[in-house]
């Protein structure tokens, strides 16, 4: 271990770790270090960084250059870290990460399977730098690409490079970025605008947020390059209002970039002017759609419009506009820096580069990951994700958020890229990846997304406004135990209608969660409709919980965790559930270590 040079302590302050009180750990480390007067030649710096990934094990603390990685750090662990690691160069054994694949604790993050299989391009700096420091960003090669672009390349050459890289939009549909830019560059009227879409409406994802919080300059640099390529002098970054940390870090970064001459007039002496401002979103899913987002920036209700004229021709205030997703922008400097050839060597034939996912749900390691396109779902879920939590059985994985679909176990070896996900009836979306186990009801999942979409439909077009409602009503009936045999056909028919007739992508893709679950999990729908049972034990009206006396060890954990005192009996004896008091929350089933809590259908078929 090095005894000289600067020590840096990186404390993850991403959303996952923050909710585990990592800010307190950060403050405590700072206080203790100044108290302990750590040796003069060792300058120790504590940095609050963006999300490292591996949110499951947070709060995470890394010590550089020693390459030590601590997980689950509490404020009470801080004195020991200072005493042992910082002053005496020893590791605190109990805070090390236990790597299941080798069955022992490891010191460096590089030794974990979670990190080993990843490849970080868009997340290259997230978790490595202090997002409030432009020096950190520059130190890691930031703004180098911009300098080269402005001094050596013509706008046309920039676009050609992006086209050659094969970069496709990371916000959903995978539209070729270079092509989009070229269309806009061709337009001969001004002003032109560039926009960064940081609305991130997917209700189960937080990738864009972590990039904006953890590495705001990568987005700004990408936007300046894009603006130069298409001939725009004004840009907007649209961020959800709830993402206050992202807004704060981004605003701060914009100011720093202006101070250093990366934004504003005559950028780096090139005669090129460009500036950006932040617009706070109002919390409506449909505002992530490009035309709705532009309406929202104009101060109007965020409703989409029909796209017979594309926004590269007439976008914001009727002017030519390029809109890209946060992650797309963050990829641009990497491509300009390392070249299109290098970038296009990563990934599959039609999907180049990497993709960031927020891997969540019933998986061991939840958090942000970034992998090369074409990695299989199995590698993502079982190698990086560490398999299903609690040793349960894998059932499905949902990608693409409310516009995507559920992919069953039989397709687990599917390579993840834009086209293969589309073929499976789902889509890449912005990168939500939700793992489901046998305790997840697929009908309920479909209902969940439709509930979300029915609230979020802006109501402008009838197919979407009414169609989603009708589909939701049917799903509600099925989950309540009043499903009819012909409901499934009606659902499929309505779904097809929505796909055909809706105005924008929200309605066009809204049936996907239903259609994919119908396609891959029809049996589960049939169980709800015909047998009136919910095999996963989620739909309350269709589920009765009971305790299997032969399995119950009488430990009493279920009784302790039952919020409505429905578990009866004495410790040491098998317990029983009083059906009349049971609210069917499933707490007992989740805590039972012996699998003694079972479910059966409402009136027949014991399982």
Which residues form the interface with another protein (CB under 8 A)?
A: 14-16, 18-21, 55-56, 58, 201-206, 209-210, 241-242, 279-280, 282-284, 296-302, 358, 360-362, 366-367, 398, 401, 432, 434, 436, 440, 445, 448, 452, 458, 560-564, 583, 585-587
Q: Which of 73, 64, 72, 7 is nearest to 36 (CA)?
A: 7
Pick between residue 146 and residue 567 the one whose CB is nearest to another protein: 567
Which residue has tokens 């405590």? 28
Three-state secondary structure call for residue 255: helix
- For residue 18, what are the contacts with CB-CB under 8 A and spacing of at least 6? none
Residue 199 interacts with which of ligand FMN, another protein, none, CB < 5 to 8 Å by class = ligand FMN
Tell the smallest beta-carbon distance from residue 245 to another protein (Å): 9
E strand residue ranges, 103-143: 104-106
Tokens of 210: 């972590």
Tell the smallest beta-carbon distance from residue 242 to ligand FMN (Å): 13
Residue 433 interacts with which of ligand FMN, another protein, none, CB < 5 to 8 Å by class = none
Specify which residues 8 forms β-bridges with: 45, 64
Query: d(Cα 429, Cα 541) in Å, to the nearest integer?
Result: 33
Pick between residue 402 and residue 537 the one whose CB is nearest to ligand FMN: 402
Pick between residue 302 and residue 320 the one whose CB is nearest to another protein: 302
Mark 360-379 as b/e (b = at least 16 C-beta within 10 Å).
Answer: bbbbbbbbbbbbbbbbbbbb
| Residue 60 contacts residue 71 (beta carbons within 8 Å) | yes
Residue 364 interacts with which of ligand FMN, another protein, none, CB < 5 to 8 Å by class = none
Residue 379 interacts with which of ligand FMN, another protein, none, CB < 5 to 8 Å by class = none
Give the angle 336-340-342 at the CA atoms, nearest 5°. 110
Tell the smallest beta-carbon distance from residue 471 to ligand FMN (Å): 16
Residue 473 interacts with which of another protein, ligand FMN, none, CB < 5 to 8 Å by class = none
Residue 502 interacts with which of ligand FMN, another protein, none, CB < 5 to 8 Å by class = none
| Residue 225 contacts residue 144 (beta carbons within 8 Å) | no
Which residue has tokens 């590698």? 379
Pick between residue 161 and residue 208 the one whose CB is nearest to another protein: 208
Residue 421 interacts with which of ligand FMN, another protein, none, CB < 5 to 8 Å by class = none
Tell the smallest beta-carbon distance from residue 508 to ligand FMN (Å): 7
Residue 432 interacts with which of another protein, ligand FMN, none, CB < 5 to 8 Å by class = another protein
Tell the smallest beta-carbon distance from residue 442 to ligand FMN (Å): 22
Residue 430 interacts with which of another protein, ligand FMN, none, CB < 5 to 8 Å by class = ligand FMN
What residues line the site for ligand FMN (CB under 6 A)?
Answer: 169-173, 175, 197, 199-201, 285-286, 288-290, 323-325, 328, 430, 504-506
Pick between residue 91 and residue 442 the one whose CB is nearest to another protein: 442
Residue 400 interacts with which of ligand FMN, another protein, none, CB < 5 to 8 Å by class = none
| Residue 387 contacts residue 363 (beta carbons within 8 Å) | yes
The CA distances from residue 83 to 80, 109, 128, in Å, are 5, 22, 24
* Helices (H), ranges, 366-434: 377-378, 418-423
Query: d(Cα 549, Cα 167) in Å, to the nearest integer?
Result: 58
Pick between residue 56 and residue 303 the one whose CB is nearest to ligand FMN: 303
Pick between residue 170 and residue 395 the one whose CB is nearest to ligand FMN: 170
Tell the smallest beta-carbon distance from residue 332 to ligand FMN (Å): 10
The CA distances from residue 494 to 294, 359, 422, 475, 500, in Å, are 30, 31, 20, 12, 10
Q: Which of 118, 141, 123, 146 is nearest to 212 (CA)?
A: 123
Pick between residue 222 and residue 586 the one whose CB is nearest to another protein: 586
Tell the smallest beta-carbon distance from residue 167 to ligand FMN (Å): 9
| Residue 358 contacts residue 332 (beta carbons within 8 Å) | no
Residue 367 interacts with which of ligand FMN, another protein, none, CB < 5 to 8 Å by class = another protein
Residue 298 interacts with which of ligand FMN, another protein, none, CB < 5 to 8 Å by class = another protein
Tell the smallest beta-carbon distance from residue 49 to ligand FMN (Å): 23
Q: Is the dihedral of CA 100, 104, 106, 111 positive or negative?
A: negative
Between helix 207-214 and helix 216-230 the angle, nearest 10°, is: 100
Q: Which of 259, 598, 286 is nearest to 468 (CA)?
A: 286
Pick between residue 206 and residue 575 the one whose CB is nearest to another protein: 206
Tokens of 38: 């750590």
**Sheet of strand 61-64: strand arrangement:** 44-49, 7-12, 61-64, 68-70
| Residue 362 contacts residue 247 (beta carbons within 8 Å) | no
Residue 360 interacts with which of ligand FMN, another protein, none, CB < 5 to 8 Å by class = another protein
Tell the smallest beta-carbon distance from residue 297 to another protein (Å): 7
Tell the smallest beta-carbon distance from residue 404 to another protein (Å): 10
Q: Which of 275, 297, 111, 298 is nearest to 197 (CA)?
A: 297
Tell the smallest beta-carbon distance from residue 329 to ligand FMN (Å): 8
Q: Which of 310, 329, 332, 331 is nearest to 321 (CA)?
A: 310
Mark 106-118 as b/e (b = at least 16 C-beta within 10 Å).
Answer: bbebebbbbbeeb
The CA distances from residue 403 to 377, 400, 406, in Å, are 19, 6, 10
Residue 419, phi then psi, degrees to nearest 5:
-75, -40
Tell the smallest beta-carbon distance from residue 363 to another protein (Å): 10
Tell the smallest beta-carbon distance from residue 206 to ligand FMN (Å): 11
Tell the smallest beta-carbon distance from residue 75 to another protein (Å): 15
């Amino acid at each position: 271990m090095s005894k000289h040079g600067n020590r840096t302590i990186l404390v993850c302050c991403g959303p996952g770790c923050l909710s585990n009180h990592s800010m307190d750990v950060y403050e405590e480390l700072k206080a203790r270090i100044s108290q302990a007067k750590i040796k003069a030649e060792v300058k120790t710096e504590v940095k609050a960084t963006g999300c490292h990934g591996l949110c499951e094990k947070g709060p995470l603390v890394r010590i550089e250059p020693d390459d030590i990685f601590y997980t689950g750090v509490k404020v009470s662990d801080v004195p020991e870290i200072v005493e042992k690691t910082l002053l005496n160069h020893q590791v605190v054994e109990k805070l090390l990460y236990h790597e299941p694949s080798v069955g022992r604790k490891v010191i460096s993050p590089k030794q974990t399977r979670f990190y080993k299989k990843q490849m970080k391009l868009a997340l290259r700096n997230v978790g490595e730098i202090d997002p409030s420091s432009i020096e950190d960003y520059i130190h890691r090669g930031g703004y180098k690409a911009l300098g080269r672009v402005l001094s050596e390349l013509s706008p046309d050459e920039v676009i050609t490079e992006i086209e050659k890289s094969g970069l496709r939009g990371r916000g959903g549909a995978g539209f070729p970025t270079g092509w989009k830019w070229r269309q806009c560059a061709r337009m001969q009227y001004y002003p032109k605008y560039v926009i960064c879409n940081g609305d991130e409406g997917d209700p189960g994802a937080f990738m864009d947020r972590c990039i904006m919080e953890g590495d705001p300059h990568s987005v700004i640099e990408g936007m300046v390059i894009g603006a130069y390529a298409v001939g725009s002098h004004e840009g907007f970054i649209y961020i959800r209002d709830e993402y206050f940390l992202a807004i704060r870090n981004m605003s701060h970064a914009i100011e720093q970039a202006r101070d250093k001459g990366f934004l504003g007039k005559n950028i780096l002496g090139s005669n090129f002017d460009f500036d950006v401002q932040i617009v706070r979103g109002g919390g409506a899913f449909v505002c992530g759609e490009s035309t709705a987002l532009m309406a929202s920036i104009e101060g109007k209700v965020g409703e989409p419009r029909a796209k017979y004229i594309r926004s590269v021709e007439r976008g914001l205030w009727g002017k030519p506009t390029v809109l890209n997703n946060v992650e797309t922008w963050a990829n641009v400097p990497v491509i300009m820096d390392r070249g299109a050839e290098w970038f296009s060597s990563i990934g599959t034939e039609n999907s180049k580069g990497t993709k960031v996912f927020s891997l969540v749900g019933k998986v061991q390691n939840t958090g942000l990951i970034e992998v090369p396109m074409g990695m299989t779902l199995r590698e993502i879920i079982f190698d990086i994700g560490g398999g299903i939590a609690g040793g349960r059985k894998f059932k499905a994985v949902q990608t693409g958020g409310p516009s995507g679909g559920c992919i069953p176990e039989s397709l687990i070896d599917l390579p993840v890229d834009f086209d293969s996900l589309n073929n499976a009836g789902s889509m890449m979306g912005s990168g939500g990846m939700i793992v489901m186990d046998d305790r997840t009801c697929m009908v309920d999942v479909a209902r969940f997304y439709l509930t979300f979409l029915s609230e979020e439909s802006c109501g402008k077009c009838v197919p979407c406004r009414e169609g989603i409602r009708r589909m939701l009503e049917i799903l509600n009936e099925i989950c309540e135990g009043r499903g009819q045999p012909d409901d499934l056909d009606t659902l499929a028919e309505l779904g097809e209608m929505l796909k055909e007739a809706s105005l924008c992508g929200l309605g066009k893709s809204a049936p996907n969660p239903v259609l994919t679950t119908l396609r891959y999990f029809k049996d589960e729908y049939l169980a709800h409709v015909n047998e009136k049972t919910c095999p996963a034990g989620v739909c309350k009206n269709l589920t009765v919980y009971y305790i299997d006396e032969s399995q119950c060890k009488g430990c009493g954990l279920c009784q302790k965790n039952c919020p409505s005192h429905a578990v009866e009996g004495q410790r040491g004896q098998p317990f029983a559930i009083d059906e009349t008091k049971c609210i069917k929350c499933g707490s007992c089933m989740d805590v039972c270590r012996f699998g003694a809590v079972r479910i059966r259908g409402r009136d027949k078929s014991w399982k």
